[in-house]
Chains A and B, each alone.
Chain A
């Protein structure tokens, strides 16, 4: 059974950084990509970027360029998403989701399955 398990909730102050982890099991990690998405309270889904489990190539959404870094550890099948310079409007549930990606592209991919989500609260 394919499963993605994320790290727990975090509370951060404005200007700080947060690093969320996503451990994959039940599939060959290097054959897929991991996408990161977020959902602010009461809002819809927002895609942040993806990273190849094979090559480590990452592609970020324009609005997060310079603030986000996605990495993988293939030895443990864990993907990480670090977001820096946190603001109050970064308060959201952050999800990882498996993407059907090549080593260089994720075009057309569906997202399945999803992790359970990690609540990040940014508050002074």
Chain B
């Protein structure tokens, strides 16, 4: 089955830029979706189809996808951005969705 790999944690200083990666074999050929999950809350979609943002998501959140790595970039990180972030694709071989293990973002 298809595997997505995310670093367990990323730390950045407030005001700086965070780059959260999601690795997968030829992931650049797939549509990647990203979710933010704060403690005790349900996940929220922040980027879909590699780089599109749902309404209400700040422009500070952006995405890219090429080769074997998709990236969620959060500019001007705020304390309120601290959360777990999950990437997701649809595994065409099994016709099931696959999630990465998640990255915990900490604003130092």
Chain A positions near chain B (C-beta within 8 angstroms): 35, 44-47, 59, 61-62, 95, 97, 105-117
Contacts and interface: CB of A to CB of B under 8 A. Distances in A.
A110 B30 CA distance: 12
A110 B101 CA distance: 17
Contacts of B35: 45, 111
Interface of B: 31, 33, 35, 42-45, 48-49, 54, 86, 88, 90, 92, 94-102
A110 B48 contact: yes
A117 B37 CA distance: 12
20 contacts: A35-B97, A44-B99, A44-B101, A45-B102, A46-B99, A47-B98, A61-B96, A62-B94, A95-B43, A97-B43, A108-B90, A109-B97, A110-B33, A110-B45, A110-B48, A112-B54, A113-B44, A113-B45, A115-B42, A117-B42
A1 B95 CA distance: 29
Contact of B43 (A45, A47, A61, A62): A45
A107 B30 CA distance: 11
Given A59-B95, A61-B96, A109-B97, A44 B86 contact: yes
Contacts of B42: 95, 114-117
Contacts of B54: 112
Contacts of B99: 44-47
Leading 10 A-B pairs by shortest Cβ distance: A112-B45, A114-B42, A110-B33, A110-B48, A45-B99, A108-B90, A47-B97, A44-B102, A44-B101, A117-B42
Contacts of B97: 35, 47, 109, 111
B91 to A, nearest CB: 9
B60 to A, nearest CB: 19
A114 B44 contact: yes
Contacts of B90: 106-109
A31 B59 CA distance: 29
A4 to B, nearest CB: 9
